[in-house]
Amino acid sequence: MTTQTLPRTTSGWVGLARSGPDAAQGPAVVAAVYRLWLVAFALKMLGSTWDMSWHFKWLRDDLAPPHLLNTAGTVIVVALVLFQAYHDVGVDRLAKRLMVGGTATFLVAIPIDILNHKINGLDITAWSASHALLYIGTAFMLLGVARGYWISTPPSRTRTVISAFIWGFFLENVLFPSQHQEYGVLSLESWKAGAPTAEPILLKFAADQIGRPVDELAVTGFALPVDSWVYPAWITGAALLTLVAARAFVGARFTATAITATYLAYRVVVWGLLAGTGFPKSIPPLLLLAGAIAIDLVFLAFAGSRGGKGLIPKQAGPERVTAAKAPTGLALALVAAVFGAAVATAATAGATWVQDFFIGAPPIDYPAFGYGFAVLALGWAAIAAVTHRKRA
């Protein structure tokens, strides 16, 4: 693949956008397109991270800087989807449907969310229905990009690393709503200490919506509007399941650990930047790293028990790795899924207790880890069954 086949003039790029790449340009265009996807997702991630902190300080504004940053990424996304869908660049039918459907859902969710704010005033939780449409749209979009990139790129270390980054963006999207509790617990503590990080106009607005003065009940409703079972159930049933899917898809050792460590490093760096510029602080979910390590160790352990064959076989695009059929293969994979879910859940719950002891954590209803375990076990088993059937 060489960039020398790409146009060197503005008119050449316009022609490429209209007619699509020729055979010689194909590989270079695919590489350029997916690099732009990374830029788009990076802008959207930076915008959403800033947006969460912004909303714990000031009243909502449609044209707030974090929204504009996110919009810049969305504009790139729309252009890429239109180009790839129209010219079938770097996609198959499934990847295209995921990209188009996800982007359409996201775009439809924007006016719905704006209308929701206009009608209902301040939407003080990241867990609302209109916000969920944004996350769901982004999730399908990312799945389409992950598949499209994987099937259109030759096997290489670069493909493995970039695929892991795509799944890292997916993890960030999954964890975005749970940041409400990670910011909210500190926001409530700061108010109780007499040094609120939220502006008075924001607190008054939130209190007026429920017809109360700015008291502890009103501030709690603003900072921690969901029950304490939500956070542990979501971390286990959604975030850990994302890491299982990433490990199954990418196939490299310690994929889950690398993705989680990179995400947490990003959160820590952004924490410093936001806190240093006067924005509210959050508690990064360091507890997630224990679950990620457990997932990778379970994959390695069951790969070793089968003589080097993976619990969920490595994907290699069209040249997917095959393995000899074994009548007990699926049963072993399902046992591994349930066992892995139990180990990862226990590791995450233990790490939560440790984190809470040393640096704090959102309110945790520990029995709710059981709900997350049930979802994780079922999801992991489904992934194992699907990949086992495809390789058989």
Residue type, 291: G
Q: How far apart are CA 267 and CA 261, in angstroms?
A: 10
| Segments making up each domain of the chain, as ranges | 19-177, 227-392
pLDDT in tens, 348-390: 999 999 999 999 999 999 999 999 999 999 999 999 998 877 6
Would you put residue 125 in left (φ > 0), alpha (ψ -120 to 50) or beta? beta
Q: Is the pLDDT of residue 241 over 60?
A: yes
Q: Is the pLDDT of residue 282 over 90?
A: yes
Give the pLDDT confidence score for residue 327 in this predicted structure.
43
Selected residue with higher pLDDT from 211 and 139:
139
The mean pLDDT of 128-145, rounded to a whole number, is 93
Selected residue with higher pLDDT from 334 and 389:
334
Selected residue with higher pLDDT from 43 and 327:
43
Q: Is the pLDDT of residue 1 over 90?
A: no
Q: How far apart are the first and last CA of the chain?
A: 33
Q: Is the pLDDT of residue 37 over 60?
A: yes
The mean pLDDT of 7-36, rounded to a whole number, is 82
pLDDT band for position 61 (50/70/90)?
low
Give the pLDDT confidence score for residue 44 in this predicted structure.
95
| Contact present, 259 and 292 (Cβ < 8 Å) | yes
Give the pLDDT confidence score for residue 42 in this predicted structure.
97
pLDDT in tens, 160-215: 999 999 999 999 999 999 999 999 999 999 999 989 888 888 888 888 877 888 88
pTM of the entire structure? 0.91
DSSP string, 218-263: HHHHHH--S-TTHHHHHIIIIIHHHHHHHHHHH--TTHHHHHHHHH
Give the pLDDT confidence score for residue 323 in this predicted structure.
39
User: What's the chain's average pLDDT?
Assistant: 88
Q: Is the pLDDT of residue 326 over 60?
A: no
Give the pLDDT confidence score for residue 303 in this predicted structure.
81
| Contact present, 57 and 121 (Cβ < 8 Å) | no
Q: Is the pLDDT of residue 313 over 60?
A: no
User: For residue 313, which of 253, 389, 387 has the smallest C-alpha distance?
Assistant: 387
pLDDT band for position 120 (50/70/90)?
low
